[in-house]
């Protein structure tokens, strides 16, 4: 049993079986290291608000905020410890505050439950994570567009059913992933707005009669709005996280398809591209091997992201209203899915930057079959019905009368269109980048002001 300075938040003196404690605590002391800083920021806002409504004296609030800043800095350096007997970061933080500030530390939990305390810390973590992923997607889009601009006119075969279909270019193929990433950034910005509501003050899910100023903590923490209904707040545990993991799974679709393409086109059989040795690994038995393990593991990471989303959905999807301890298991899949997504985007950026193109091989792949559709379109331009042009071209192809070089102008039409799309994509990326930067700037201001020690101006507003 912990001493008076370090009791569990719910400890009333009863004896609990050690096995029960171990099972219910689980790995929270490890997992919650990622929430310590966010809990400190949220607790600082809560303390400031409690002072403004008269529950804390200004001196008490200042002591709490000073101690919370120390906790925040320790957390950033990886030095804040969460003793196992205190279960999680919330218990450890309160124990530290009681130790450092005495009665003020015992007052900090006024008007909140560990439920909304976990919710607000997780929501802040999630908002920050979305900004980090959005920034990585923006960088990825920039890297891809640079490659498109550099290699946009390099011709390559296009495939359907894994059979050669029509001519295309590196610019068109790779540009598809730039456009896809722009769509994902737009979705991420919308998701950020969707989850940008403040759960703090809902307490155990039924509100409090203390006159808490939830608008004030909403402002201090940089949320867009209050999450109003307290039961809905509790019912939302895991919902925002699930939306984020579904978005991460959508990002994963891009990651695995691009990984697949790079792996396939860099095989000896295709040999369109080459991956540098710096991003490949070797074999323990075959000296000649340079394996695309990074790209293969990105594909596997996507499976893990989907698995995290599925795990989370099953945890929250079978419950009646209000809080249940099941929600403890919403944190781990969130942390894992975010981590896997960030690492995978960063590594695929490296692959896009560094793969080289075997132009001679691509040039040699220009078979007559690739240009059959262009030949049919030529006949359509001359006035023939497409179905007649289709049949005539099939006969000419068999007779060896379709010559790739005759259709360079047709491919140039596609290249010119791709150049136009490239310019439009750059404009779109610039617009979305400003949205992401605005959210990051607002979030950074919240963190910078979280431990401000001045209270006199707030008394003018709320006194």
Any idea which residues carry the catalytic annotation?
161, 283
- Rounded to an integer, what distance in angstroms lies between the CA atom of residue 31 and that of residue 296? 27
CB 178 within 8 A of CB 141: yes
Please state, as a whole number, how many other Cβ atoms lie within 10 Å of the Cβ of residue 393.
Answer: 22
Report the first-to-last Cα separation within the chain, whole angstroms. 42
Tell me the C-alpha distance between 388 and 398, whole Å: 16
Q: Which helix (H) or strand (E) holds 163?
A: strand 163-169
User: Which H or E run contains 440?
Assistant: helix 408-449
Q: DSSP state, 368?
A: G
In terms of phi and psi (left: phi > 0; alpha: psi -120 to 50; beta: otherwise), the region of 424 is: alpha
Say if residues 315 and 330 touch (Cβ distance below 8 Å): yes
Of 311, 325, 314, the residue nearest 115 (C-alpha): 325
The alpha-helical segments, DSSP class H, found in 319-371 are 331-354, 359-364
Cα–Cα distance measured from residue 89 to residue 200, given in angstroms and rounded to the nearest whole number: 17
Distances in Å between the Cα of 129 and the Cα atoms of 133, 232, 256, 376, 443 are: 6, 23, 21, 51, 11
């Amino acid at each position: 049993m912990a001493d008076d300075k370090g009791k569990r938040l719910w400890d009333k003196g009863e004896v609990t079986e050690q096995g029960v404690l171990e099972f219910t605590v689980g790995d929270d002391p490890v997992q919650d290291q990622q929430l310590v800083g966010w809990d400190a920021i949220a607790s600082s806002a809560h303390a400031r608000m409690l002072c403004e409504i008269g529950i804390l004296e200004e001196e008490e609030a200042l002591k709490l905020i000073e101690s919370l800043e120390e906790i925040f800095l320790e957390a950033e350096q990886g030095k804040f410890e969460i003793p196992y007997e205190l279960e999680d970061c919330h218990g450890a933080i309160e124990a530290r505050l009681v130790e450092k500030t005495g009665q003020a530390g015992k007052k900090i939990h006024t008007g909140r439950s560990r439920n909304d305390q976990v919710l607000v810390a997780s929501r802040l973590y999630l908002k920050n994570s979305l900004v980090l992923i959005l920034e990585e997607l923006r960088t990825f889009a920039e890297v891809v567009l640079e490659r498109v601009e550099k290699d946009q006119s390099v011709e390559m075969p296009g495939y359907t059913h894994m059979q050669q279909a029509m001519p295309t270019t590196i610019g068109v193929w790779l540009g598809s992933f730039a456009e896809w990433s722009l769509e994902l950034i737009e979705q991420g910005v919308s998701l950020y707005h969707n989850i940008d509501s403040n759960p703090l003050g809902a307490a155990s899910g039924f509100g409090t009669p203390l006159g808490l100023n939830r608008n004030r903590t909403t402002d201090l923490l940089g949320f867009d709005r209050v999450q109003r209904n307290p039961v809905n707040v509790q019912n939302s545990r895991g919902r925002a996280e699930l939306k984020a993991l579904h978005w991460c799974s959508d990002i994963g679709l891009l990651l695995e398809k691009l990984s697949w393409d790079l792996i396939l086109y860099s095989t000896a059989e295709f040999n369109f591209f080459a991956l540098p040795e710096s991003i490949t690994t070797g074999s323990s038995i075959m000296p000649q091997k340079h394996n695309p393990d990074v790209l293969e593991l990105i594909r596997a990471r996507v499976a893990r992201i989907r698995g995290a989303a599925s795990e989370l959905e099953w945890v929250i999807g079978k419950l009646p209203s209000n809080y249940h301890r099941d929600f403890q298991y919403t944190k781990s899949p969130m942390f894992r899915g975010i981590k896997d997504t960030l690492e995978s985007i960063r590594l695929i950026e490296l692959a896009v930057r560094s793969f080289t193109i075997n132009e001679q091989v691509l040039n040699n792949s220009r078979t007559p079959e690739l240009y059959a559709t262009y030949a049919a379109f030529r006949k359509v331009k001359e006035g023939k019905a497409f179905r007649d042009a289709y049949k005539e071209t099939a006969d000419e192809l068999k007779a060896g009368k379709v010559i790739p070089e005759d259709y360079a102008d047709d491919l140039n039409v596609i290249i010119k269109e791709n150049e136009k799309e490239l310019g439009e994509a750059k404009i779109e990326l610039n617009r979305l980048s400003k949205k992401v930067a605005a959210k990051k700037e607002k979030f950074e201001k919240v963190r910078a002001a979280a431990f401000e020690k001045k209270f006199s101006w707030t008394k003018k507003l709320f006194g």
